């Protein structure tokens, strides 16, 4: 299958396929006598996996590690489970940071609403942001 056909079947561009080859996510396919890339039908499934893994938040390096395990004949399920757990932990940490930031901004918004610009000392840049 030529690169354009693979791109259409995988819902990506030919440029994306070339990038995936350079990134080590897709093996370089054999070439036809005319020099065209000739992909095996299984490449469509690989593209679908890459797209799904990206949608789940995995990085290209993580996706490559999963594919390397599969390509070596090993089932990557345990590795994928660890990656998912790590990403969930990172999301929980980020959500906690966002909750703190939201509380701070809510307090600053209240302070901003209560601040009279006429009463601000000339030497201060902005009393709203000053920590009490």
What does the pLDDT profile of the chain (132 residues) look like in tens digits?
999 999 999 999 999 999 999 999 999 999 999 999 999 999 999 999 999 999 999 999 999 999 999 999 999 999 999 999 999 999 999 999 999 999 999 999 999 999 888 888 888 888 888 887
Longest Cα–Cα distance in the chain: 81
| Cα torsion through 22, 24, 29, 34, rounded to 10 | 10
C-alpha pair distances (Å), 122 with each of 42, 47, 101, 118, 129: 70, 61, 28, 10, 15
pTM: 0.79
């Amino acid at each position: 299958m030529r690169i354009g056909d693979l791109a259409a079947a995988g819902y990506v561009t030919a440029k994306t396929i070339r990038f995936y080859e350079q990134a080590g996510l897709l093996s370089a396919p054999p070439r036809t006598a005319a020099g065209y890339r000739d992909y095996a039908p299984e490449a469509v499934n690989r593209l679908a996996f890459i797209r799904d893994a990206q949608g789940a938040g995995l990085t290209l390096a993580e996706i490559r590690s999963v594919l390397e395990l599969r390509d070596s004949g090993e089932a990557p399920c345990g590795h994928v489970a660890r990656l998912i757990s790590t990403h969930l932990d990172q999301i929980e940490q980020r959500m906690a940071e966002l909750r703190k930031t939201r509380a701070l901004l809510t307090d600053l918004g209240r302070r901003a609403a209560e601040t009279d610009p006429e009463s601000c000392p000339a030497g201060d840049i902005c009393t709203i942001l000053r920590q009490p």
